Amino acid sequence: MEQAQNLPATTVLVKAAGPIIIPSKCIVTKADGTVEEKEKVSLCGCGASANKPYCDGAHKQLISTDNKTV
């Protein structure tokens, strides 16, 4: 964890009932060990994405007509 102390701060935007957005360049290491460098990334925050760890918009189906989560 000492290495993390030397990294610059990262902005993370957590949307209610939606994705977790990192609006800057980042490195994503997936569960299978695959590493990808992204300029901007939207990560799944609801668990329903078929493209984890990335958001595919599946959270929209979890929201009822009155904008509350089901």
Q: Where are the domains of the chain?
A: 14-62
What is the pLDDT, as a whole number, of residue 64? 58
CB within 8 Å of 52: residues ≥ 6 apart: 44
Q: Give the CATH architecture of domain 14-62.
A: 3-Layer(aba) Sandwich (3.40)
pTM of the model: 0.74
pLDDT tens per residue, range 12-57: 999 888 899 999 999 999 999 999 999 999 999 999 999 999 999 9
CA 45 from centroid of its chain's CA atoms: 6
Work out the angle at residue 67's Cα, subtended by the Cα atoms of residues 66 and 68, and round it to the nearest 5 degrees.
Answer: 95
